[in-house]
Structure 1
Amino acid sequence: MVTYTQLWRADPAAWRAAGAAWSRLAEAVGRRAAELGAVAGRVTDGWRGAAGAAAGGHVRRLREPLDAARLAFVETDQVLSGFASGLARARGMLAAAVAAAGPAHVEIDRSGRTAPDVTVTGIDRVAALHAADRVGAGIAAALSAAAMADRTAAAALDRLAAAAAAGWPLAVPRSRPPFGTPPGVVRQWWAGLTEPERRWLLLFEPAYVGRLDGVPVWARDLANRSLLAGQRAGLVRERALAVKTAMPRHAAVSASHRLVGLMSGIDAVSARLSAETGERAYLLSLDPTGDGRVVLAVGDPDRADNVLTYVPGMTADLRAVRDDLGRVEALAARAAAVDQAQRTSVVLWLDYEAPSFLDEAMFAAKAESAGPALHRFAEGLRTTHEGPPAQQTVLGHSYGSLTVGTTARTFGLPANDLIFIGSPGVGTDEASTLGIPPSHVWSSTAANDPIAYLAPGWREPFNRAAALLTDPLSPDLRPRPSEDLWFGRNPTDPAFGGRVFTGEPFGHSGYWRADNDALTDIAQIALGPEHQSRVE
């Protein structure tokens, strides 16, 4: 059993750094494995015949143990980082118990036993004893959580050590469900695989495992991390080819600009994956084709108490992912600050083709096409979660709120709460049509967010702007938020039927600023009913 003193002195950041060190080792081993792959290719290309084929096969076989070790090193990072997260939660629980002891006139000794301070004048002895019981129960719960994290991490490391001692046995799986299979069916299939079969899939079919909803987060993360270097190298080769081909100069420049943007996005994702501070990131999907897509979680959704999925809007893509990663970090940090005792995972879900320009954002087609994927992803998070169900929240910003609303209304979203911020409308006029109680549908739009004045129709916004230019001082012409927006009734309008919270007037992109009360309200909604009563 973990003792009070051990937990009080524990340093989650040190364990997080230890995990990151294993991740760096995995990257180094991965580079060596890639070099062996290149050697095998050169052998095969330059040495024909049976002897050349045998030599190439031998070099390729040398790579397999390196790939297996790389996976094990990343999994070690997952285990140690998960332990760090569990320790941080237990320390938060302990800190809350200690903070409650002082006002209750309860003293705590270093062994974790509690005793009421009955010498203080005016304190009711019975009340003090009850307070001591509550503080003691809080300490016991914190120590129990720390002990559980310790046992879980030790068991996982033992399992990895046993696999290494056995030489990383592999076995070809007997079946593979196709993409689009319901996550519950996928989860049953994965659970029925042996560990050698799972390891074979992670080694030889990572692109398949990495995008399959219903596969546990840890496995998807392993698979997608193994693909990153190759995905970036492919973009480098594509750019070199674009420059060399005889395509018109403007086309070559455009292609080069797009590819450089995608490489920059992958670099931003890679930097977050290798960060030594903060919650560990998990890569659930990355697609470098087109404008690029990515799904990344800060904190493990499968083990979190709360999961907040953020769906961004217009202009969101892999090339511009730095801003969205910053928003995810801000949400995760605020949730941790509001309640240290709960683990909250924040997921960036950018697995749809968001509009790039206004001419695309004026129509609901891209939101509608995203529906099946968002529904399946949310179902997958429910299916793979370990332990009691997490508090699941889905947040849509700008056009992303239309994507969330359309999905909830058409396909359903397995969420406890929905949040719409800076919304142009969510595809319905009533919160009651979204598949969850209207009291769990939330919205906020800043007073100076221009999207609140986007009335329906083709001419109204332009008529309003022309009138303002004609007589900008007229109080009758000052813009007022529209009850009806481009894609339905304003979700902040009382007639919509949801709940509204307010923030500072920081415009369309200011909801994630540290000094905006809206950020705290979003965190409190994501933390569940106990905190939602504080939302204003």
Structure 2
Amino acid sequence: MVTWADASRWEPAPLADAVGALNAEYNKLLPASEDLRKLTTPYGWTGEAADAASAKVTEMVDGLEEWAAELAAGRMAAANVGDAVVGVKNGVEEVRNLAGAQNFTIADDGAVIDNGPPPGTPPEQAEAVAGERRQFAAELAERVKQVMQSAEDVDTDFCSVLDRILNHQVFDATTNDNSATNLSAAGSAGIQAGGLTIPAPPPEGATAAQNAAYWATLSDQQRRQLAMDHPGLVGPRDGFTATHRDIANRSLLGQERGELQRERGDLQRRLDGLKESDPSEMDEYHEIEDQLKELDEKLGGIEQVDARLNNPDLPPAFLLGISGDNAGQAIIASGNPDTAANVATYVPGTGSGLPGIEGDITRSDRMFAEAQKAGSESTSVITWVGYDAPQSILPDAASKTFADNAEQRLHSFQAGLEASHQGERAHSTVVGHSYGTTAIGQTARDHGLATDDVIFVGSPGVGVDHADQLRLDGVPASQVSDHVYSTAAPTDPVPLATNFRTPELDGVDPLGPDPTTEWFGGRQFAAEATSPLDSHSDYWEPNSSSLRKMGQVIAGS
């Protein structure tokens, strides 16, 4: 069994040396592959001696083929294991760095040791700090577990290949057609036998930290192979790197387009077989027409996402999620969130989905540009349509059910951004519009949210009565109100129509009070009054004070 101490000492260099030596031997052997099976006894030589000589030649050739296969298997296995060791070492170093930054260490047996909170921690914060450290220790333990699982998988796989080589089970020349087999074919069989499997990922439903710990143990080659060969496994996983999720989800985008087009074709054929003028078929005819319209709108959203991904005039985009279910979901990042210093997640509200997603993406791109103007030199703004948003004002948007169903997804997504981020910790902001603010507020209330700041725009309520009831990971409870921003245009009908605007009745509203009220706490900022028909959407208009303020918060300025 592999221990943490063993994995910590693993080095890929000896394996690289072994690959070189095995390759040299294989290249010496390969020229002997010129039709060895055609070797035979001289013409006219017959009898027992001739038969014995022919059998000996066959035996020698079989031995050379077996040798070629074993050399090829050993060379391939050593190369794959060397690559895998690099990944395991990356996982070990990542855990060590995370532990060291919080004054933890990892023992040789993998145990997590808490060396105490930072000196000078105020006594009144001791209990809160102890709880945070217990939570962090549990996360470190999960990361150690994932690293060790990957190391064990690599070790088991390599031992299995070596056993097959030592027991001469890589290639059985006697089962092959003696007239067709040569050393090249034997070598190809060996290469296939020497290939290692990529360590299995955590089970579906694993935390973002578990996913990130597993992902850290893979080499870039392994990650790319998984993303291309198993896009459904990589694309949705919070905690995996954005570049590889993008590879996987672009493949899934094509699959979703194909599924929607096939579904549309089936419906169209059904419609073509009906007559609108026939009273017995009229209802079905109109129902299929409505379904076709919905499919066309979702297909239009797919094209809008694809256009943004391939627009060379805007910041590079990364597709972090895609689904055609219900109204459709998509998660698109402007800029790489794994490397950006300032990362924002925008959660739109009622009516969001694949249809019309271009407007939400445009808002994110505008926030990206405003953050740059505010001094952010490294930025990523993510359009997060990662939940089934309400599709109607009544009755859908009056219910907290849609926010309930969004909570775990948003919590996991934000945790995944933090877990996959490279280098110094990013400054994070979550921006919500309309019902999106409700989803954000309930998530922060019930699960906590991995972010430094939240911005509520045009909110019908965020599920709490006061800003200090929100939990922002990394922000002390006593300081949360300083990190909560909200705005509502004086002509926006949504906050006006969905709130009682009196503290005595706040508890009656199922979505909670308007966060721009003075008694809610937090920081309020202004938005221009525009037409009541447009004011709920005008917060992102170019040169508006509201857009400018959002950019400043995202930039941390």
1:348 maps to 2:383: yes
Describe how 1:183-262 pairs up with structure 2 within 5 A: 183-245=208-270, 248-262=284-298
Q: How many Å apart are 1:449 and its aligned residue?
A: 0.5
On the 8 A contact 2:366/2:540 being kept in 1, the answer is: yes
Q: Aligned equivalents of 1:444 and 1:171: distance in 2?
A: 55
Flag the 1:482–1:526 CA change in 2: closer, same or farther, 3 A: farther
Tell me which amino acid in the other structure corresponds to 2:402: K
Specify the SS of the correspondent of 1:289.
Answer: coil
**Structure exhibiting the larger radius of gyration computed from Cα positions:** 2
2:133 corresponding residue in structure 1: none
Q: Aligned equivalents of 1:193 and 1:452: distance in 2?
A: 48
1:301 corresponding residue in structure 2: 337
Unaligned ranges ≥5, structure 1: 1-165, 458-478, 532-536
Q: How many Å apart are 1:224 and its aligned residue?
A: 0.8
Q: How many Å apart are 1:170 and its aligned residue?
A: 7.4
Q: Aligned equivalents of 1:480 and 1:175: distance in 2?
A: 55
On the 8 A contact 2:330/2:386 being kept in 1, the answer is: yes
1:418 maps to 2:442: no
Describe how 1:313-328 pairs up with structure 2 within 5 A: 313-328=349-364
Tell me which amino acid in the other structure corresponds to 2:246: D
Q: What are the Cα deviations for residues 183-228 of structure 1, in whole angstroms up to 9, with x where unaligned?
A: 1111111111244432331222111100000101111011111222
Tell me which amino acid in the other structure corresponds to 2:543: D
Q: Aligned equivalents of 1:172 and 1:505: distance in 2?
A: 60
Residue among 197, 214, 224 paired with 1:172: 197
1:62 corresponding residue in structure 2: none
Tell me which amino acid in the other structure corresponds to 1:173: I
Q: How many Å apart are 1:178 and its aligned residue?
A: 2.4
Residue among 302, 310, 315 paired with 1:274: 310
Residue among 511, 517, 521 paired with 2:545: 517
Specify the SS of the correspondent of 1:193.
Answer: coil
> Runs ≥4 in structure 1, deviation > 6 angstroms?
479-483
Flag the 1:170–1:378 CA change in 2: closer, same or farther, 3 A: farther
Specify the SS of the correspondent of 1:329.
Answer: helix
Residue among 481, 485, 499 paired with 1:438: 481
Q: How many Å apart are 1:408 and its aligned residue?
A: 0.3
1:448 corresponding residue in structure 2: 491
2:420 corresponding residue in structure 1: 384
On the 8 A contact 2:364/2:383 being kept in 1, the answer is: yes
Tell me which amino acid in the other structure corresponds to 2:487: S
2:515 corresponding residue in structure 1: 491
Aligned residues: 341
Specify the SS of the correspondent of 2:536.
Answer: coil
1:333 maps to 2:369: yes
Q: What are the Cα deviations for residues 53-103 of structure 1, in whole angstroms up to 9, with x where unaligned?
A: xxxxxxxxxxxxxxxxxxxxxxxxxxxxxxxxxxxxxxxxxxxxxxxxxxx
Q: How many Å apart are 1:236 and its aligned residue?
A: 1.1
Residue among 412, 428, 437 paired with 1:401: 437
Q: Aligned equivalents of 1:211 and 1:376: distance in 2?
A: 11
Q: What are the Cα deviations for residues 113-156 of structure 1, in whole angstroms up to 9, with x where unaligned?
A: xxxxxxxxxxxxxxxxxxxxxxxxxxxxxxxxxxxxxxxxxxxx
Tell me which amino acid in the other structure corresponds to 1:323: G
Q: Aligned equivalents of 2:311 and 2:457: distance in 1?
A: 29
Q: Aligned equivalents of 1:330 and 1:480: distance in 2?
A: 34
Tell me which amino acid in the other structure corresponds to 2:541: R
On the 8 A contact 1:455/1:486 being kept in 2, the answer is: no
Tell me which amino acid in the other structure corresponds to 1:446: A
Flag the 1:286–1:382 CA change in 2: closer, same or farther, 3 A: same
Flag the 1:481–1:409 CA change in 2: closer, same or farther, 3 A: closer
On the 8 A contact 2:460/2:499 being kept in 1, the answer is: no
Q: Aligned equivalents of 2:222 and 2:197: distance in 1?
A: 6
On the 8 A contact 1:316/1:354 being kept in 2, the answer is: yes
Q: How many Å apart are 1:328 and its aligned residue?
A: 0.8
Specify the SS of the correspondent of 1:240.
Answer: helix
Q: Aligned equivalents of 1:304 and 1:393: distance in 2?
A: 12
Specify the SS of the correspondent of 2:261.
Answer: helix
Specify the SS of the correspondent of 2:471.
Answer: coil
Flag the 1:268–1:171 CA change in 2: closer, same or farther, 3 A: farther
Q: What are the Cα deviations for residues 307-359 of structure 1, in whole angstroms up to 9, with x where unaligned?
A: 110000000011120110111111111111222x5211100111111001121
2:528 corresponding residue in structure 1: 504
Specify the SS of the correspondent of 1:215.
Answer: coil
Q: Aligned equivalents of 2:210 and 2:195: distance in 1?
A: 23
Q: What are the Cα deviations for residues 408-462 of structure 1, in whole angstroms up to 9, with x where unaligned?
A: 00010011001101000101111001014111111000010012222558xxxxx
Flag the 1:515–1:194 CA change in 2: closer, same or farther, 3 A: closer
TM norm structure 2: 0.59
Q: Aligned equivalents of 2:264 and 2:332: distance in 1?
A: 26
On the 8 A contact 1:454/1:482 being kept in 2, the answer is: no
Tell me which amino acid in the other structure corresponds to 1:494: E
Flag the 1:359–1:180 CA change in 2: closer, same or farther, 3 A: same
1:526 corresponding residue in structure 2: 554
Flag the 1:170–1:342 CA change in 2: closer, same or farther, 3 A: farther
On the 8 A contact 1:171/1:200 being kept in 2, the answer is: no
On the 8 A contact 2:461/2:499 being kept in 1, the answer is: no
Flag the 1:456–1:517 CA change in 2: closer, same or farther, 3 A: closer
Specify the SS of the correspondent of 1:324.
Answer: helix
Q: Aligned equivalents of 1:231 and 1:369: distance in 2?
A: 23
Q: Aligned equivalents of 1:491 and 1:480: distance in 2?
A: 12
Unaligned ranges ≥5, structure 2: 1-190, 275-283, 473-479
- Give identity over the alignment, percent: 36
Tell me which amino acid in the other structure corresponds to 1:491: P
Q: How many Å apart are 1:242 and its aligned residue?
A: 1.0
Q: What are the Cα deviations for residues 277-299 of structure 1, in whole angstroms up to 9, with x where unaligned?
A: 12100000000122100000000
Q: Aligned equivalents of 1:249 and 1:395: distance in 2?
A: 42
Residue among 400, 404, 409 paired with 1:373: 409
Q: What are the Cα deviations for residues 370-399 of structure 1, in whole angstroms up to 9, with x where unaligned?
A: 000000000000000111111100011100
Specify the SS of the correspondent of 2:381.
Answer: strand
On the 8 A contact 1:453/1:480 being kept in 2, the answer is: no
Q: Aligned equivalents of 2:311 and 2:344: distance in 1?
A: 21
Q: Aligned equivalents of 1:421 and 1:412: distance in 2?
A: 20
Tell me which amino acid in the other structure corresponds to 2:538: G
Q: Aligned equivalents of 1:271 and 1:482: distance in 2?
A: 49
